[in-house]
């Protein structure tokens, strides 16, 4: 069974837009978070725990500039990078669950989905 948990939060970011390090102006998005996973047993228990974890993760970012939140002080805080890092953090917190995909939306009509590749042995990161 696939389970998805959701949250959202407002946060700013300023991404690097070229190899020279040029940055766009700081701007705010209402970020949408969707983590989809499978649970080998007791899916209702896994869903409740995952929901609480995602809420805590979102709270860490809420109302901040992502550029000031690790790892985005070093990593370009794009939706793609946020999805990838969130997938890794979730997988580390819930080793007994299989992350299927993490989707991050940062603007109306746009989202990025990260799907781990389990056969690589690194959870896709």
Residue 121, pLDDT score: 47
Residue 3, in any domain of the structure: no
Q: Is residue 83 part of a domain?
A: yes
**Tens-place pLDDT, residues 35-58:** 999 998 899 999 999 999 999 999
Do the domain assignments include residue 2? no
Q: Give the mean model confidence (pLDDT) for residues 87-113.
A: 95
The average pLDDT across 20-44 equals 93
In a domain, 79, yes or no: yes
The CATH number of the domain where 94 resides is what? 3.30.479
> Is the residue at 25 inside a domain?
no
For residue 55, the 8-state DSSP code is H
**Which structural domain range is residue 106 located in?**
12-19+34-120
For residue 24, the SS3 value is coil
Domain presence at residue 46: yes
Residue 26 lies in a domain: no
In a domain, 28, yes or no: no
65-70 contacts: CB < 8 A, separation 24 or more?
Answer: 65/11, 65/12, 65/13, 65/14, 65/26, 66/11, 66/12, 66/13, 67/12, 67/13, 67/14, 67/26
pLDDT value of residue 6: 96
């Amino acid at each position: 069974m696939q389970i998805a948990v959701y949250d959202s939060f407002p946060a700013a970011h300023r991404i690097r837009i070229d190899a020279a390090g040029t940055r766009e102006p700081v701007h705010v998005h209402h970020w949408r978070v969707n983590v989809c996973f499978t649970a080998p047993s007791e899916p209702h228990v896994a869903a409740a725990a995952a929901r609480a974890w995602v809420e805590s993760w979102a709270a860490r970012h809420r109302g901040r500039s992502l550029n000031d939140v690790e790892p985005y002080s070093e990593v370009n805080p794009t939706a793609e990078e946020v999805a990838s890092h969130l997938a890794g953090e979730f997988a580390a917190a819930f080793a007994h669950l299989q992350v299927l995909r993490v989707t991050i939306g940062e603007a109306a009509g746009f989202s990025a989905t990260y799907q781990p590749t389990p056969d690589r042995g690194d959870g896709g990161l």
